[in-house]
């Protein structure tokens, strides 16, 4: 039986930036049977009590086994099984290691996916989630106090204790990302609970392969659409980016039309993609219920668009190389 050669998607960002929500849409697009999902929290070097003893947060490189992350990432890339550690957030301790085998899509997400050159080189697409700071705090409180059993006071104390490590070790990884996704509230809103209508900026690295996406978006942007969706060039974090801005107030029909055009471009490599109804994407947890965001749908689709473009580029590269050899 031939080994799988999977696509590797890296998802980075601070704790509470929406990585799990983003991955949820990817599961719906490809289906769980095609995905191996690795949470880099499992590669903590110390348990919670040990980190407290040593005065380390989980965001410090010394509290994470970078060498094992890199080794396992490349083994998965090469279609090999791994035996990986398991960290239990409910106890702060390690559970029994587990065997993991790669499927067609391997998602590796957490605090340090782009920290070393070995890790950066393994990914077909690198995505960094970078929401507005106040929004990120609200999301982290909602998650940790609501689903991980912490008090709000404990969460706030932890947030403050982690700020230096975030600045030193987590945020600099943005520099190596192909896509940076920044959700933020509208200028006229201080409501951090309205996650359905957040604005988003999608920063596209100039290193991404040239595709027909610009033409697709410009074609889809009629006079009304341009008010809600804009393409601009700007610098972010000292790097040049091609930026797509999507207003949270985008009309559902406008968003649906843009989604359909992106789907049409995704259908050519359809073998990996599930047949979905439009409203199955863009879901996020809202207490015990769930909400829906049209900007989130567009961001999820565009990330998959670039991931599949990476696959097409990888498939055509050997043929182009052979052609060049023949010409020589």
Domain boundaries of the chain, sorted by first residue: 7-327
Sequence-ordered list of residues with C-beta below 8 angstroms from that of 129, at least 6 positions apart, any chain? 11, 12, 13, 17, 18, 19, 22, 180, 181
pLDDT at 321 over 70: no
Q: For residue 283, what pLDDT is reported? A: 78
On whether the CB atoms of residues 259 and 278 are closer than 8 A, the answer is yes
CB atoms within 10 A of CB 323: 10
Q: For residue 292, what pLDDT is reported? A: 81
Average pLDDT over residues 87-94: 93
**DSSP H helical ranges for the chain:** 19-30, 48-54, 66-77, 117-122, 133-147, 152-165, 213-220, 252-266, 294-327
pLDDT at 146 over 70: no
Q: Please tell me whether residue 100 adopts helix, strand or coil conformation.
A: strand
Chain segment 262-306, per-residue pLDDT in tens: 877 775 544 677 665 555 677 777 666 677 888 888 888 888 888
pLDDT at 166 over 80: yes
Average pLDDT over residues 135-157: 77
Integer angstrom CA distances of residue 148 from 23, 45, 74, 281? 19, 21, 31, 25
Report the chain's mean pLDDT, rounded to a whole number.
Answer: 83
CA-closest candidate to residue 112, choices 19, 29, 192: 19
The token pair at 297 is 């749908």
Dist. CA 90–CA 55, nearest whole Å: 20
CA-closest candidate to residue 204, choices 188, 223, 186, 217: 217
Average pLDDT over residues 205-234: 67
Dist. CA 154–CA 302, nearest whole Å: 36
In this structure, what are the phi and psi dihedrals at residue 183, rounded to the nearest 5 degrees? -85, 145
pTM for this prediction: 0.87
**Long-range contacts formed by 204-208: CB under 8 A, 24+ apart:** 204/178, 204/179, 204/241, 204/242, 204/243, 204/244, 205/177, 205/178, 205/179, 205/239, 205/241, 205/242, 206/240, 206/241, 206/242, 207/178, 208/178, 208/179, 208/306, 208/309
Lowest mean pLDDT of 11-25, 47-61, 111-125, 179-193, name the range: 179-193
Sequence-ordered list of residues with C-beta below 8 angstroms from that of 190, at least 6 positions apart, any chain? none
The token pair at 44 is 């903590």
CATH architecture of the domain with residue range 7-327: 3-Layer(aba) Sandwich (3.40)
pLDDT at 223 over 60: no
On whether the CB atoms of residues 17 and 117 are closer than 8 A, the answer is no
Average pLDDT over residues 116-127: 96
């Amino acid at each position: 039986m031939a080994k799988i050669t999977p696509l590797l998607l890296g998802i980075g960002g601070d704790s509470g930036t929406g990585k799990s929500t983003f991955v949820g849409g990817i599961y719906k697009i490809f289906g769980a049977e095609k995905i191996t999902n690795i949470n880099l929290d499992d590669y903590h070097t110390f348990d919670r009590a040990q980190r407290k003893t040593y005065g380390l947060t989980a965001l410090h490189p010394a509290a994470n086994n970078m060498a094992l992350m890199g080794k396992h990432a490349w083994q998965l890339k090469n279609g090999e099984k791994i035996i990986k550690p398991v960290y239990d957030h409910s106890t702060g301790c390690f559970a029994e290691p587990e065997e993991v085998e790669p499927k067609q899509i391997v998602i590796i997400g957490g605090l340090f996916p782009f920290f070393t050159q070995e890790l950066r080189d393994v990914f077909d697409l690198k995505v960094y989630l970078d929401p507005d700071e106040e929004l990120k705090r609200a999301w982290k409180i909602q998650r940790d106090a609501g689903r991980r059993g912490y008090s709000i006071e404990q969460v706030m104390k932890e947030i403050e204790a982690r700020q230096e490590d975030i600045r030193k070790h987590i945020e600099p990884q943005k520099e190596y990302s192909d896509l940076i996704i920044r959700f933020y509230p509208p200028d006229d809103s201080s409501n951090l609970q309205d996650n359905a209508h957040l604005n988003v900026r999608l920063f596209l690295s100039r290193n991404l392969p040239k595709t027909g996406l610009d033409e697709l978006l410009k074609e889809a942007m009629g006079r009304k659409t341009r008010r809600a969706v804009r393409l601009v060039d700007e610098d972010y974090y000292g790097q040049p980016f091609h930026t797509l801005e999507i207003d949270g107030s985008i009309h559902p029909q406008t968003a649906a039309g843009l989604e359909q055009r992106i789907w049409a471009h995704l259908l050519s490599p359809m073998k990996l993609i599930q047949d979905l109804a439009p409203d199955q994407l863009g879901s996020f947890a809202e207490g015990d219920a769930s909400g829906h965001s049209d900007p989130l749908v567009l961001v999820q689709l565009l990330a998959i668009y670039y991931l599949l473009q990476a696959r097409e580029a990888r498939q055509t590269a050997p043929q182009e190389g052979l052609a060049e050899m023949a010409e020589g």
